[in-house]
Amino acid sequence: MKKSISNIIFKSLVVLMRVLIGVGWCLAGVTKITGKTGEVSWYDQPTVFLTEYLTKALDKPNVPEFYKRFIHDVALNHVKFFNYTIPITQLIIGICLIIGIMTLPAIFVCLFMQINFILSGNMNLLSLTLYTSAFGLILFRKDALILSLDRYFNIEDFFKVKKLNYLGLNKAEETLLSK
């Protein structure tokens, strides 16, 4: 009895974590699109905020050299593209995580964006919490898919990792080797 209650509580917390991370990403996207209170949005003055952010990152000592080269050679040359795609991507990731559709790809995009944020010199408690929480969702993805559209529409099977048979063994030989 205790085990089943604790199991239900754990699964509920994993689903809550998925939804809360989704809300966080939605809010991040919405505030960039609409602007924070008293500030202009990324869309009102395209490239201003992001150019300033990336230029400051070039001067930070905790930004790795390879990432500084990426910022200088790629990101600053395509800042207008990133200015429009980052907020939209954040909003889409958030919605996907909240409703639980395309959950695993959304988590991987979330991780990718979070890694870029950390590499740009913004290592803080919130960044690390979101980063580790995303890994938690990957580790407990079966639990994260409870109350999700992925499970309802049976999309979760599409993203299952299938064991590859590199040696070309038949089922009987695989069973013998696995013992």
Which string of DSSP letters, residue by residue, matches 75-128?
Answer: IGGGHHHHHHHHHHHHHHHHHHHHHTSSHHHHHHHHHHHHHHHHHTT---HHHH
Considering its fold, how many domains does the chain have in total? Answer: 1
- In this prediction, residue 157 carries a pLDDT of 73
What is the structure's pLDDT at 46? 87
For 125, the domain range is 2-178
pLDDT of residue 19: 96
Q: What is the spatial distance between Cα 17 and Cα 133, in angstroms, rounded to a whole number?
A: 8
Mean pLDDT by 10 residues, the chain (179 residues): 82 94 93 81 89 95 96 96 96 96 94 93 83 90 90 79 57 60
Determine contact, residues 107/124, Cβ cutoff 8 Å.
Answer: no
Instruction: Quote the CA–CA distance of 74 and 67 in Å, as a whole number.
Output: 10
pLDDT for 161 equals 57
Task: Give the torsion sign (CA, 125, 109, 20, 6).
Answer: negative
Q: What is the dihedral of CA 88, 89, 90, 94, to 10 degrees?
A: 100
End-to-end CA distance of the chain: 34
pLDDT score at 39: 74
Q: Which residues contact 173 (CB under 8 A, 6 or more apart)?
A: none
